[in-house]
Structure 1
């Protein structure tokens, strides 16, 4: 597994919110589209570990709840006293209280200490009162109070607190042992097997769809899975202005420019950055070029999908599932129809995985270092209204969250140290997990019944939302890049792709005698030095009565 895949597998155990969102997005609706996976990230191991984590959690909560039920019959006072003791500790884990007034936290801590004292006092008194009654009734010496009967009664009163707390501890240690064994660096991909036909079909669809070239989005994010938009600009140039005999002139008919040919020309120039270099170490080895077809995934549903009845959308296959792969012929048609509901981008992705460094003798100087950040550029070329429109969008996907990187350090620790790390991160959360176990059991049962009764079916709707709502890779990403080197690398690759694209379009237009002065002027106005080594993205205009338009300018860029 790649590093980022391992980290998000770890998130399944370390972040319950992440796990629940992944399972709800990918497995609940069998007809929901899947966003693409970039940079070597694989969804399948993450789904496997999310399901495994949920199963472990259900077993833990069921065991704790079962012992609470037993305790209500065997030692009701001690059991309810234990539950009451857990309440203030659970409240202390709430973010609002942790960040609230100090006096509130002090009062809750007083409540917690008083509850612990009361629990211990109640357990001792519950054990001693029967022993004292037996003593006075039988006339035994005072030492009878400390006989096996009273000792067993004390143990009985503390049995439920000890067992429930122990189950929560064992669960947490089992999680960290899983992180050490199954998710350590170099760990193989898990074998995913299921006997449930419906789940097997869904997993097979996800496995294939994540490598497709079609993105159906539900939240207006056409670049889902690639991160946030970091930079974007656009240039428009007239195709009826040509240069003949070194003089610009205007033609009655525009120059015939095929966007498919232009895309192929640009693609060839970009591939040269990886394949046609003087030395292997100079090539961008992790440069990947692919197709990116985007559409808003809300389509009209027709009866009889298998018979392709009138009204069935072509982006829905004969099984009623969203298509994830567009053919070359379809891509060419989309590129030539810029006003259609489906749009085509050429995608350029660079995975900042780095490469190892060796000297002239082949000795290793430094191993390859995975920076995790992912830089993607999306190129849109449209011929419309006697104009050529070029759009350039750059997205940046930060590394996985820092907390998930614990799988890299745990394998070097001893078993005792791993156990300590498992307990250290819990603190009061351990007591909260014990208290919340019965609530989670009920909630899980209710959600299971609700999902069984509310299985989505497009045939029940006239219009159905097939579009993906979130990307698992983006869900587990940090808020921003983690090091300044990552920031500099992103800037480097943006500049390289941007310059390569601009020169390729200019060369293509000049081969066809199109006047490129306006294109060059607009390209020159995209980036302006702002001092102190920084840049600001603003438009520029030249000449009398000139004007400029801001295209995608964002504050802070």
Structure 2
């Protein structure tokens, strides 16, 4: 953890008291701030989880500022509500003046929304009854053509036919110059009266959508631009501002209070192993050696020191593991009593920070319901490392450093109980932020290109966004108007019940992540760093045991099984392959 996040703690647990100063937004912060402008539901989920329960803990934040993300979620939701309100108002006016074209627009928009739902999601058996999959194959851009035909063509043809009906019984000789002029005049008036309303409705709804996209693009290219000090959006009221201020400090704590996942916000578990080792001295005659008392603090310090060497500043930039961060990670269940030591009874909040003496006490006494891990984070490129280019010996630039955006975390738990050493290793991989949230990096700063992109985006979503505006407006107004009541309900529950679930349930970073690493290099990097951390952990434990003359034969065998879990068989004699370990793999090569 960086030095600016270190704060004083008065008791065993406490809150950080350091002031938060304005710093440039990191890449992950910018991408997560972009997410609510691209996906409105993202904003609702973040606000509902982080803000609407003021007593809920927050997941640790590595590489991004959660408070800035929350502020942009509120701003994105305000802009989206305004857009949907304008579109709903225009639809209401259309139903009053141009009823049939408006109904046509709503119908075709709903049809296109159904098609996109079928294309982007795998419907259940019940949904397939009402949403035929045949739409996926038959309807692509066809609804646009159908909309243009029904919206303009058929009504115009009907009105033109009505205008021509008085002239259908006349012969060719009767159609003189005056009659033709009268026919043209009537046809033009009919077309104008028919087309004026639908065209105005179409133009105005498109203008609202274009304006919405232009506003969001300018936010992404100004306040979320590279190397900009953040001008954070305002918050709705003082109560929410107090909660965001608390979140801004709690996100950097070393205590994770969770509801179900102790590794919340770190991705999926890709590797895990554990074993217990009897602590006895070496015995030359084969008899059990004498028991050895091992200090858990010393072995934890040894492992910590060796893991920190991965990003040691004494190493060259080429050999240093990029973005390495080593912090204590205290895990606690969220369901706690009001008089629990981890809960501040006055504010009914869990303490996010454990003092160093508290961490040492938890290591010595692992039976207290709090679990200590040493967490190693790889993948958060800090300031200065991004400028480290790949260079030849004579200084020529071969390639700029490109971060793979995958976060690797490893959790190491070491406990001494009952004369045994318990070693636990858990590795997780957090995929990169979704590609659509990288929009701010793809946008060009020129206003002309932003307008062009906004017009194209508005046209592609014209029918669906316009048709869905009333529903989205109603749902958005409901969420905004009932937000205070949800906060009050959580406040009453934390006050009235002796036991309350303070645990964090959702990680904003995980919510915005891809389902899995996207590129093959990202998968290779994740596997590489997991193996590096695992190797250093095992070697540091082994060296510490050998220095204290503890029998390490069993430990060495188990580590060999864990690390050497792949066998490569070469030759035509072997017809079968064997893999060792839970995550074992095997490759058979033929000559």
TM range (shorter): 0.7 to 0.9
Q: Is the 8 A contact 1:527 1:537 kept in 2?
A: no
Q: Determine which of 329, 334, 356 is the counterpart of 2:362.
A: 334
Select which of 523, 536, 542 maps to 1:506. Answer: 542
Deviation at 1:81, TM superposition (A): 4.1
Residue 550 (structure 1) aligns with: none
Aligned to 2:475: 443
Matches of 1:77 and 1:280, distance apart in 2 = 68
Aligned positions, number: 526
Mean CA deviation greater in 282-291 or 182-191: 182-191
Secondary structure, aligned partner of 1:390:
strand
- Give yes or no for the alignment of 1:479 onto 2:515: yes
Q: CA deviation at 1:27?
A: 1.7
1:264-283 equivalences in 2 (<5 Å): 264-275=301-312, 277=314, 279-283=316-320
Separation in 2 of the partners of 1:247 and 1:73?
99
Shift of the alpha carbon at 1:9?
2.1
* Match status 1:61 vs 2:101: no
- Using the TM superposition, give the Cα deviation of residue 375 of structure 1 relative to its aligned residue in structure 2, in angstroms: 1.4
Q: Distance in 1 between matches of 2:534 and 2:413?
A: 13
Match of 2:486 in 1: 454
User: d(CA) in 1 for partners of 2:90 and 2:452?
Assistant: 26
Correspondence for 1:72 = 95
- Between the aligned partners of 2:60 and 2:140, the Cα distance in structure 1 is 47
d(CA) in 2 for partners of 1:289, 1:57? 40
From 340, 356, 367, the equivalent of 2:389 is 356
**Aligned position for 2:242:** 201
Moved more, 5-14 or 425-434: 425-434
Distance in 2 of aligned mates of 1:4 and 1:97: 26
In 2, the alpha carbon distance for the partners of 1:132 and 1:277 equals: 90
> Hey, what does 1:34 align to over in structure 2?
58
Provide the secondary structure at the position in 2 that maps to 1:282. Answer: coil
The answer as to 2:374 corresponding to 1:298 is no
C-alpha distance in 2 between matches for 1:195 and 1:117:
45
Correspondence for 1:390: 423
1:198 Cα deviation from its structure 2 partner:
0.8
Deviations 1:345-374 (A, max 9, x none): 011111164742344454544322212111
User: For 1:171-250, what aligned pairs fall within 5 Å after superposition?
Assistant: 171-194=212-235, 196-219=237-260, 221-239=261-279, 241-243=280-282, 250=288
Matched, 1:430 2:469: no
Gaps of 5+ in 1: 302-310, 540-552
Residue 416 of structure 2 is aligned to residue 375 of structure 1: no
Cα deviation, residue 506, structure 1: 2.0
Equivalent position of 1:163 in the other structure: 204
- Mapped to 2, the partners of 1:556 and 1:12 lie a distance apart of 41
- Check 1:248–1:202 CA distance in 2 against 1; reply closer, same or farther (3 A cut): farther
Tell me, what secondary structure is at the counterpart of 1:32? Answer: coil
- Cα deviation for residue 78 of structure 1 reads 4.2
More displaced stretch, 317-326 vs 201-210: 317-326
Distance 1:554 1:54, change over 3 A: farther
Answer yes or no: is the 8 Å Cα contact 1:176–1:418 preserved in 2.
yes
Query: After the TM superposition, which residues 33-112 of structure 1 pair with which residues of structure 2 at under 5 Å, given as runs?
Result: 33-38=57-62, 40-95=63-118, 100-102=132-134, 106=138
Partner residue of 1:11? 35
Unaligned runs of 5+ in 2: 1-24, 123-131, 168-178, 571-576, 587-591
Asked if the contact 2:391–2:397 (Cα under 8 Å) also holds between the matched residues in 1, the reply is yes
Does the Cα contact within 8 Å between 2:329 and 2:374 map onto a contact in 1? Answer: yes
CA RMSD of aligned residues (A): 3.6
| 3-state SS of 2:509 partner | helix
Distance in structure 2 (CA, Å) of the matches to 1:165 and 1:132: 33
Deviation at 1:480, TM superposition (A): 2.1
Residue 116 of structure 2 aligns to a residue in which SS?
coil
